[in-house]
Amino acid sequence: MELAVLKHNGEETGRKISLSDEIFAIEPNDHAIYLDVKQFLANQRQGTHKSKERAEIAGSTRKIKKQKGTGGARAGSIKSPLFRGGGRVFGPRPRDYSFKLNKKVKQLARKSALTYKVKDNSLTILEDVTFDSIKTKNYLALLADLSLTDKKTLLVLPEANNNVYMSSRNLPKAKVKAVSDINTYDLLHADTLVLCEGSVSKLETLLSK
């Protein structure tokens, strides 16, 4: 499979780049995608939620009314979950939501996500991008030339580039990542995946290990 390489102004360079069928044209595995996205979202959770149970509530320990003769239910503590201000029954406690996922499953998920992008014609190959300074208007101009201003985009660079990253950081629909940092969630979340020319070989090397 071959795709045309675009210039920064959106025009074709006249060159084409060959994409590996083992990375960009496999039989997609939806369950692998589900597991990888689930792990990614689980890892984002802080797990610091906490509510007090009856043993942790500050309050008097005296019996609040006599056992019998009131015509109501028995009540032994003001800390009871039945009363306003009492402890919560089985409330949330701090926990770690992360879980292990095999490396080959994660690779399969990313290959599947890339395959879907190719099938949906949502993959663009661009000449390598570098900025001399940090300017959001430069990144906006790049998106405008590629007709991607109103779309959610993920630009994948061969190596981390602080100028390009910082120039895109204030744009809610734009995301920039290096090849080594991409994940299945970001690939699927973007309407259009923009791969720099130098990123393709590195991506194929990374996912073929």
| 176 shares its domain with 116 | yes
| 145 shares its domain with 81 | no
Q: How many domains does the chain have?
A: 2
CA atoms within 13 A on the CB side of 79: 12
Mean per-residue pLDDT over the chain, rounded? 92
Model confidence at 190, pLDDT cuts 50, 70, 90, reads very high
Picking from 181, 184, 46, the residue whose alpha carbon sits closest to that of residue 113 is: 184
15 backbone φψ class: left, alpha, beta (φ>0; ψ -120 to 50)? beta
| 145 shares its domain with 61 | no
Q: Which helix (H) or strand (E) holds 175?
A: strand 174-178
Three-state secondary-structure class, residue 109: helix
Q: What's the pTM?
A: 0.84
CA dist., res. 175 & res. 161, Å (int): 13
| 108 shares its domain with 130 | yes
| 31 shares its domain with 116 | yes
| 106 shares its domain with 9 | yes
113-133 residue pLDDT tens: 999 999 999 999 999 888 989
| 41 shares its domain with 56 | no
End-to-end, the C-alpha distance of the chain in Å comes to 21
| 25 shares its domain with 101 | yes
Residue 43 has what DSSP assignment?
A: H
Residues 6 or more apart from 62 whose CB is under 8 A from it? none
Give backbone dihedrals phi and psi of 174, rounded to 5 degrees, phi first: -110, 140
pLDDT above 90: residue 208: no
38-73 residue pLDDT tens: 999 999 999 999 999 999 999 888 999 999 999 999
Domain, as residue range, for 56: 51-91
CA 183 to chain centre: 7
